[in-house]
Amino acid sequence: MPFSKNTESSVRVLVIEDNDDDRELLLRQLKKSGMAGHVKFITDGRKALDFLTVPSKTLTEELIAIFLDLKLPSLSGLDLLRRLRTDEKLQNVPVIVMTSSNDPKDMEECRKLKVTNYVNKPVSFTSFSKAVADVFHLPRQGEPPMSVEEV
């Protein structure tokens, strides 16, 4: 599995995706544009939760956004999202959901969990970078624009 060789402190975007093909294709484009170093791929909800809940001041401060696939083994995207929303440190991290089916029930659930944005699969470099850029422009209701100031 091709993981980014960067240290944890440099992770600015987390992509949680279990599909090898989707991961590979996105990574390819990120590599081409030199952004791969700041993106960490995680293949499963449980692993993502483990990674995020390890106490690390830098991670929460540096993390710009999480790209989340809803269909994940062991812990689904929505379950993970719920955990994040209950976590004091992580509840304000922007979450961008990667969809392919637009299941209205999932969409409704996502709205309740205050998903920041959505991108359609396949995620191209263009849609990826636009979504990341939008994080800084979209209003974040009632939340201190902490990450924006950091950047």
Partner 1 sequence: MTVDSDALRFSQTLRSAILLPLAVIFLTALLLLSLVLWLFHDMHWSYHSYRVLVDERDSQTRVCDSQDNMRGYLLTGDESFVRAFEADQNATNVQLDQLKQMVQDNPAQVSNAEDIIQAKDLWFDYAKTLVARRVERPIVNPQDIEMGKTLMDGVEAKYEKFNQTEIALQEERLRRVHQMQSIVTYGGGALLVLLSLSIAQVVRRQFMKLAGEYRRALTIIEDRAAALARSEADLEEQKEWFHVTLKSIGDGVIVADPEGRVVFMNEESERLTGWTSTDALLKPLPEVFKIVNEETRVPVENPVAKVFREKKVVGLANHTVLISRVGQEWPIEDSAAPIYDAKEKVLGVVLVFHNATEMRHTQRTLRAYSQNLEREVAERTTTLQQAVIELEAFSYTISHDLRSPLRAMQGFAQAVVEDYADKLDEQGKNYLLRIRNAAERLDRLIQDLLAYTRLSQEKAMLGPLDLDKIVREIIEHYPNLHLPAAQVEVVGTLPKIMGLEAALTQVLSNLLGNAAKFVAPGTEPRIKVWCEDHGEKVRLWIQDNGIGIAPRDFERIFQMFVQVNEPQRYGGTGMGLAIVRKAVQSIQGSVGVESEEGQGSKFWVELNRAT
Binding site for partner 1 (CB under 8 A): 19, 21-22, 25, 28, 71, 100-106, 121-122
Between CA 90 and CA 27 the distance in angstroms is 25
Ramachandran angles phi, psi of 133, nearest 5°: -65, -40
Tell me whether residue 22 or residue 62 sits nearer to partner 1 (CB atom): 22
Q: How far is the CB of 133 from partner 1 (least distance, A)?
A: 18
Tell me whether residue 7 or residue 102 sits nearer to partner 1 (CB atom): 102
Q: How far is the CB of 29 from partner 1 (least distance, A)?
A: 9
Q: How far is the CB of 50 from partner 1 (least distance, A)?
A: 25
List of residues 6+ apart from 10 with CB closer than 8 A: 37, 38, 62
Tell me whether residue 21 or residue 149 sits nearer to partner 1 (CB atom): 21
Q: How far is the CB of 97 from partner 1 (least distance, A)?
A: 13
**Helix or strand holding residue 106 (H, E):** helix 104-112
Tell me whether residue 28 or residue 112 sits nearer to partner 1 (CB atom): 28
Ramachandran angles phi, psi of 77, nearest 5°: -60, -45
Between CA 86 and CA 92 the distance in angstroms is 10
